[in-house]
Amino acid sequence: MEHCSDFKHSKQTEIKNTCAIIARVFMVLFALSAIGLLAYLGVSVHSFISNDDASLLSIFYPLIQLATACITLRLMYALFRNIANGRSPLTKKHARILAIIASLLLASCLVEIVMQLIPAVSEHIFQVGSFAEIGYVQDPATSSLHIDLKTTVMAAFCYAVSAVFSYGADLQQLSDETI
């Protein structure tokens, strides 16, 4: 019985250490992304103010993508830090974090689709040529719509894992109440 307890303790320690390393990696990635976001924002504002052919629309999409990446990395850090600190992975809080990450990923995909449609719609309806300079759609008549399948699948995966974590938290609560 003692051997089983030692094995369980060593596995828990191994999981905590692994999660602590992963949390540090996500924190470093978050810091680098935040620095990149601030640098991009500074360059974009400077470019817009100096009127170097920058439109708000061309600044908007990368800014949203970078902000989404920063928030996602920060949430991943919080998730793994909590597990490294000994909290159970199967909690409602962790399920909510994963659901938020999935929503951010899905929103990122939707923003990308909208940004692809804006130049085509504006060129056909308003016949404004300046939107075509963004580079997302070169010829609205022959262009195709790009959907980021990897991000969409990752969002679906995060939603599924969120549901599993939520169900696991419910089972854990039921088990605790039974005992």
- pLDDT tens string 25-73: 999 999 999 999 999 888 887 777 776 555 666 677 788 889 999 999 9
Query: What are the mean pLDDT values of the chain's consecutive 10-residue runs (179 residues total)?
Result: 66 90 96 93 79 65 88 95 90 94 92 76 45 45 73 93 93 82
Q: What is the 3-state secondary structure (H, E, C) of the chain?
A: CHHHHHHHHHHHHHHHHHHHHHHHHHHHHHHHHHHHHHHHHHHHHHHHHCCCCCCHHHHHHHHHHHHHHHHHHHHHHHHHHHHHCCCCCCCHHHHHHHHHHHHHHHHHHHHHHHHHHHHHHHHHHCCCCHHHHHCCCCCCCCCCCCCCHHHHHHHHHHHHHHHHHHHHHHHHHHHHHHC
The predicted pLDDT at position 134 comes to: 43
Give pTM, 2 decimals.
Answer: 0.75
Q: How far is CA 23 from the centre of its chain?
A: 15
